[in-house]
Amino acid sequence: MKTAVLISGSGRTLKNLLELVAAEQLPIEIPLVIASRAGVGGIAHAEAAGVAVSLVDRSDYPTDQLFSAAVFSRCRTAGVELVAMAGWLKYTPIPADFAGKVVNIHPSLLPAFGGKGMYGDRVHQAVLDYGAKITGCTVHFVDDEYDHGPVIWQQPVPVFDDDDAKSLADRVFQAELECYPSVLRMIAKGQVTVEGRRVRVVQRRVTGRSKMASD
């Protein structure tokens, strides 16, 4: 499955996906990476893997719709079937032909600690300030509202009493490294279906626990 990856920062998630693809552990092809601004660290990861990079700077477009048109025209040209947001921080309306074909990973258990402006350490600090004992990450389809689309998978992560935003972020990111590729793998294998806001995924049982399909 041809997949475009959208980045706005260091590209740690992109790097993980590229490494799994190279190791033949993730059955997708990444022909295109789109960066929302020049100079972000993720561009180097794409270039090192020989992946084409396209820069679409939000400041070059007067409206969200024109910005979105520029992003998705590049996706169409690359012939991608799926778009994976990986630290993409720009609001991007989803065109009709990509509805149900754009996914994102968010560093909390949505709908908690999501919405406009909630990204990175802001999320983890909000979790700590609230006193939550469980957080995690959420992979979801993207619609035209912030962190709102149907949830595909959630991975819980404990919050410890001595956590700060950095330690909590590190622990959540370790869960993301497993969760996002697993969901992309299931989508590539046709194991994910959507009915309204309900998402059904094929699962298997491992030692009595529910685990994401990976075979």
List, by residue number, the catalytic residues.
Answer: 106
Amino acid identity, position 103: V
Torsion angle in degrees (nearest 10) through CA of 81, 84, 88, 92: 40
Q: What letter would DSSP give residue 25?
A: -
Taking Cα atoms as reference points, which of 115, 69, 74 lies closest to residue 96?
69
Q: Report the alpha-carbon distance of residue 72 to residue 22 in Å, rounded.
A: 25
d(CA 209, CA 203) in angstroms, rounded, equals 10
Residue with tokens 């909590």: 168
As a whole number of Å, the CA-based R_g of the chain is 17
* Residue 133 DSSP SS3: coil
Q: Three-state DSSP class for 57?
A: coil
Cα–Cα distance, 125 to 138 (Å, whole number): 17
Cβ-contact 201, 152 below 8 angstroms: yes
Spatial separation of the C-alpha atoms in residues 130 and 108, rounded to whole Å: 13
